[in-house]
Amino acid sequence: SPALYVVPTPLGNLGDMTQRAIEVLRNVPWVAAEDTRHSAPLLRHFGVTAHLLAAHEHNEEAAAQQIIVRLAAGESVALVTDAGTPTISDPGARLVARVRAAGFRVVPLPGACAAVTALSAAGIEAPHFLFYGFLPAKAAQRERALRDLASLPFALVFYEAPHRILASVAALAQELRGQRTLVIARELTKVFETIHVGPLADGLAWLEADPDRQRGEFVLIVSGAPASDGADDEGARVLRVLLADGLPVR
């Protein structure tokens, strides 16, 4: 029966395309891509000849309708984004919801995701982690967001772009309580992959010591607030509020 396949693509290393992702993409008549121009070379590389349709954050509703029409005609569709897993700090969640609500199968393929890739090499013992994605771009909103996270006993995982990496690492050091470890995972799976692990308080200096360290794509991971921190009661209170509301925060 026809299905919407959610297909991760590599973060930068073509070798990370899975066998199953290639098979699915070769067998579906339609691929919905966040940016068809961006995905075309990748699809060509893997011998994918499907028709492309655009499904990005500005046309998700219309794209969902188009995809539902294809599914109703018995044709499967694969969803890809520019890199990594669709819907993770990427468009697609609304499309998935619409497709399921229309009664069609949604089939997720496991594969590349920058957050999980970075976590696997972080060496942070964390039974729990909170995936935050991108912090707000504006300083005041970023600080407010971080204050909500400051006392949580979870490892925190952020995505960041090069032009905001210094501001974000400075804000993390300023707003998060207690002695923490910071992991700066840069250019994962690519030629200049760098994974720096050190005290949160030293992160900004490490980045500033070499402009090359500020280039590329970043995952930032901060270890959870220490349980012995003086902010324990506040942390427990915030946690109860968050859990009552349902994560994530803001």
Q: Which is nearer to ligand SAM, 220 or 238 (CB)?
A: 220
Q: Which is nearer to ligand SAM, 212 or 245 (CB)?
A: 212
Alpha carbon separation from 248 to 21, 133, 180, 200 (Å, rounded): 30, 10, 21, 23
Q: Which is nearer to ligand SAM, 71 or 122 (CB)?
A: 122
Min dist CB 113 to ligand SAM, Å, is 4
Which residues does 47 contact at the CB level (< 8 Å), separation at least 6?
22, 26
Min dist CB 247 to ligand SAM, Å, is 19
What type of residue sits at position 118? Answer: A
Distance CA 57, CA 138 (A): 21
| Residues 148, 196 contacting (CB under 8 angstroms) | no
* Binding residues for ligand SAM (CB under 6 A): 11-12, 81, 83-85, 88-90, 113-115, 159-161, 185, 187-190, 217-219
Min dist CB 119 to ligand SAM, Å, is 11
Min dist CB 182 to ligand SAM, Å, is 15
Q: Which is nearer to ligand SAM, 130 or 188 (CB)?
A: 188
Which two three-digit tokens encode residue 3?
């299905």
Q: Which is nearer to ligand SAM, 68 or 113 (CB)?
A: 113
Which two three-digit tokens encode residue 2?
């026809």
Which two three-digit tokens encode residue 62?
């219309």
Helix (H, G, I), strand (E, B) or coil at 227: coil
Q: Which is nearer to ligand SAM, 110 or 198 (CB)?
A: 110
Q: Which of 153, 113, 152, 147 is nearest to 133 (CA)?
A: 113
Min dist CB 91 to ligand SAM, Å, is 9
Q: Which is nearer to ligand SAM, 185 or 207 (CB)?
A: 185
Q: Which of 109, 89, 96 is nearest to 20 (CA)?
A: 109
Min dist CB 188 to ligand SAM, Å, is 3
Closest-by-Cβ residue to ligand SAM is 84
Min dist CB 47 to ligand SAM, Å, is 23
| Residues 78, 24 contacting (CB under 8 angstroms) | yes
The residue length of the chain stands at 250
The label of the residue with tokens 């010591």 reads: 209
